[in-house]
Amino acid sequence: MLLLAMFFMPLKGSPLSPVVTTSRGLVVAAEGHAAEAGATILRKGGNAVDAAVATALTLAVTYPRAGNIGGGGFMVVRLADGTATAFDFREVAPAGATRNLYQDAEGKLVKGRSTKGHLAAAVPGTVAGLALAMQRLGSGKMAWADLVEPARALAEKGFEVTDAMAEDLRASADLMGANAAARRIFLRDGNFYRAGETMRQPHLAATLARLQAEGPREFYTGRTAELLAADMAAHGGLITKEDLANYRPVERAVLRGAYRGYELITMPPPSSGGIALLQMLTMLEGHDVAALAPAGAAKIHLFVEVMRRAYADRAAYLGDPDFTKIPVAALLDPDYLARRAATIDSNRATPSKMIGGGLASVTEAEKPEPLETTHFSVMDAAGNVVSCTYTINGIYGCGVVAGETGILLNNEMDDFTSLPGTPNTFGLVQGEANAIHPRKRPLSSMTPTIVLRDGKVVIVTGSPGGATIINTVLQVITNLIDHHMTTSEAVAAKRFNHQWLPDAITYEPGLASEAVMDELRVRGHELKLRKLYPNDPPRWSGMQGSAETIVVDPVTGLRTGAPDGRRPGTAAVSD
């Protein structure tokens, strides 16, 4: 039952966020049909995990720029009985992938090879991961076919293309125009969709029908796998039937941390997000953040210095834990982080070239990832929660629809280090721990996170945005805990990002007054307004990732879902 739905007027200059408050369950997602699909499953007696599965599958149809079954992601679950676990369904490199895959004979990076076309795709994990989550922690009251049905029906019958989506598709004409199936489905061979028209995806509907009838393994061993592998073979891609048959999602122990009396449950490697978030919060804990103006120079300076140090460690030490030994305990050791924080000069920016991985003298960097991916948060009436971030990496992934499957594939191979120690196509240097290796998972920044107080869930959040994800999650959480903002204010507040290299703060328009910006410059910071990302329509220019967030009032137990107005079409729907 919807108790309250209103258009909340957030902070001056910020996008509008339609906020929903309820005593029952709710789903907050980047697209309305997908949020509704999840809420429908809740109404039918499914739990938060069941609803998350239906939402994820529906986003693959209605939000193809990031929603997917051709990519991968992470889901952090916390049940009302206290059980907490994480599902890692990150894509893996095909068995045929080599360390120098994206270099030419002279060892130079080939522009676009790791981002466009079949060679950029890693083996998708989404279907297997969602199925594992459902099997492990679903209510047991819903059949897999029931959870697939909303997505299948929308793929078959179609849905109305919004203004934003029409604009978005047109802006991706270069990327998808190079692939016949993507060009036909998403660009209508140049007869671009206009707002109000209906998009139908019959091939995707048929694939989803096969998944319904034969179960999730069909994706990996059935007709879908055959079609996908055949399309790869025909176009110089690497993913084979064996790669698909061998794909396995992993259930991992969640990463736990604390901040000012709150408990955090977040994603372990192969996400860098959990470790970096906990590092930053621990470094901040010694400072009275609440006493600082939320958009003042002292606050932004402190946060940037903390970000710089955490991202330097990220680049030096993090990768797939199955391939790289990650010193998790050492990186999260409070004594280490106190020493690290003690190197912060409260008046001067520390140049990033002076900061390496803090455990040793490593000075490599990580490239920024494209500003896409999508996050959704789910809570059911019983108090089970899901924080899920999943992705095809770039907007519309590698721009390839795998033949007659209707599945848009990821370009997650670009999240690997393509050329260790040398600037990549974005002009940045990357880390060795994340080098390409067959069957390895690329390092991710996705940071699905749940925050508790006295054993009760108070925040469920996460974000898209590649390397900016971790800093978005940091700012949402500290806006709530330190600055006591309302849910809507915390999500809408202007954001900034520093990721060690490049050594510059990127910021959203309107972050702070000119006086504050000048003060930051005086302290030695370079400031850059966020730019339009490749393929992004102008209306999304300058935005850091959106954070679809649920906040629970610890006194009343009321849940407020705040979809982030940075993305047109985001929605909170209660059951």
CB of 163 to ligand GLY, least distance (A): 26
| Residue from 88, 320, 369, 548 binding ligand GLY (CB under 6 A) | 369
Stretch of residues binding ligand GLY (CB under 6 A), selected from 30-38, 42-50, 303-311, 443-451: 443-451
Shortest Cβ 198–ligand GLY spacing (Å) = 30
Applying CB under 6 A, among 22, 387, 393, 475 the residue interacting with ligand GLY is: 393
Q: Provide the strand spans (E) within 217-342.
A: 250-252, 255-259, 262-266
CB of 257 to ligand GLY, least distance (A): 20
Q: How far is CA 103 from CA 107, 309, 417, in A?
A: 5, 30, 11
The answer to whether 85 is a known catalytic residue is: no
Choose between 373 and 430: whose C-beta lies nearer to ligand GLY.
Answer: 373
Applying CB under 6 A, does 411 fall inside the site for ligand GLY?
Answer: no
294 prior amide bond cis, ω within 30: no
Structure tokens at 530: 């966020």
Of residues 43-102, those binding ligand GLY (CB under 6 A):
none
Catalytic residue, chosen from 22, 40, 207, 373, is: 373
* CA neighbor of 556 nearest in space, from 81, 11, 4: 4
Confirm if 143 and 363 have CB atoms less than 8 A apart: no
Would you call 572 exposed, middle or buried from its count of C-beta atoms within 10 A (0-12, 13-18, 19+)?
A: buried
For the chain, give me the number of helices (H) and strands (E)?
18, 20
Nearest to ligand GLY of 203, 375 (CB atom): 375
Judged by CB, which is closer to ligand GLY: 446, or 571?
A: 446
Q: Which stretch binds ligand GLY (CB under 6 A): 115-123, 440-448, 479-487, 511-519?
A: 440-448
Per-residue binding string, ligand GLY, 344-363, x by CB under 6 A, is: --------------------
Smallest gap from Cβ 444 to ligand GLY, in A, equals 3
Token look-up 């990220």 returns 314
d(CA 390, CA 57): 11
Give the nearest residue (CB) to ligand GLY. 444
Please, which residue, 17 or 506, has the CB nearer to ligand GLY? 506
3-state secondary structure of 30: coil
85: tokens are 């676990």
Q: Which is nearer to ligand GLY, 10 or 464 (CB)?
A: 464
Q: CB of residue 409 vs ligand GLY: minimum separation in angstroms?
A: 13
Long-range CB contact pairs, 234-239, < 8 A, 24+: 234/403, 235/117, 235/118, 235/400, 236/117, 236/118, 236/119, 237/117, 237/118, 237/119, 237/121, 237/400, 238/94, 238/95, 238/96, 238/97, 238/118, 238/119, 238/121, 239/94, 239/118, 239/121, 239/122, 239/123
The answer for 99, left when phi > 0, alpha when psi is -120 to 50, beta otherwise, is: alpha
Q: Which residues of 289-309 are buried (b: 16+ CB within 10 A; e: fewer)?
A: beebebbbbbbbbbbbbbbbb
Nearest-approach distance from CB 388 to ligand GLY, in angstroms? 13
- Of 415-434, binders to ligand GLY (CB under 6 A) are 415
Are residues 422 and 113 in contact, defined by beta-carbon separation less than 8 angstroms?
Answer: no
Hey, what's the torsion of the CAs at 267, 273, 279, 281, to 10 degrees? Answer: -90
Task: Identify which range of 54-62, 75-83, 172-180, 438-446 contacts ligand GLY by CB under 6 A.
Answer: 438-446
Residue 373 binding ligand GLY, by CB under 6 A = yes
Nearest to ligand GLY of 380, 415 (CB atom): 415
Considering the complex, what minimum distance in angstroms separates the CB of residue 434 from ligand GLY?
A: 11
Site for ligand GLY in 154-183 (CB under 6 A): none
- Would you say 55 or 410 has its CB closer to ligand GLY? 410
Dist. CA 500–CA 491, nearest whole Å? 24
**Choices 24-32, 180-188, 425-433, 441-449; region in contact with ligand GLY by CB under 6 A:** 441-449
Structure tokens of 297?
């120079």
Total residues interacting with ligand GLY, rule: CB under 6 A: 9
**Taking the complex as a whole, how short is the minimal distance between the CB of residue 318 and ligand GLY, in angstroms?**
11
**Closest CB to ligand GLY among 201 and 391?**
391
Q: How many CB atoms lie within 10 A of CB 182?
A: 23
CB of residue 89 to ligand GLY, shortest distance in Å: 12
Pairing of strands 505-507, 527-529: parallel
Q: How far apart are CA 67 and CA 53, in angstroms?
A: 12
Out of 40, 417, 445, 461, the residue judged to bind ligand GLY by CB under 6 A: 445
Terminal alpha carbon distance of the chain: 6
Selected binder of ligand GLY within 40, 212, 240, 444 (CB under 6 A): 444
Candidates 94-102, 234-242, 439-447, 548-556 — which segment interacts with ligand GLY by CB under 6 A? 439-447
Among 42, 298, 407, 446, binds ligand GLY (CB under 6 A): 446
Q: Which is nearer to ligand GLY, 87 or 336 (CB)?
A: 87
| Closer residue to ligand GLY in complex, CB, 384/391 | 391
In the window 264-323, what residues touch ligand GLY (CB under 6 A)? none
Q: How far is the CB of 465 from ligand GLY (least distance, A)?
A: 8
Does residue 440 contact residue 323 with C-beta atoms inside 8 Å?
yes
* Binding status of residue 391 toward ligand GLY by CB under 6 A: yes
Question: Where are the strands (E) in 155-216, listed by range?
Answer: 159-160, 198-199
> Do residues 85 and 254 touch, judged by C-beta distance below 8 A?
yes
Closest of 365, 370, 369, 339 to residue 352, by C-alpha:
365
- Give min distance, CB of 431 to ligand GLY, in A: 14
Nearer residue to ligand GLY within complex by CB, 114 or 393: 393
Residues in contact with ligand GLY by CB under 6 A are 369, 373, 391, 393, 415, 444-446, 466
Catalytic residues: 373
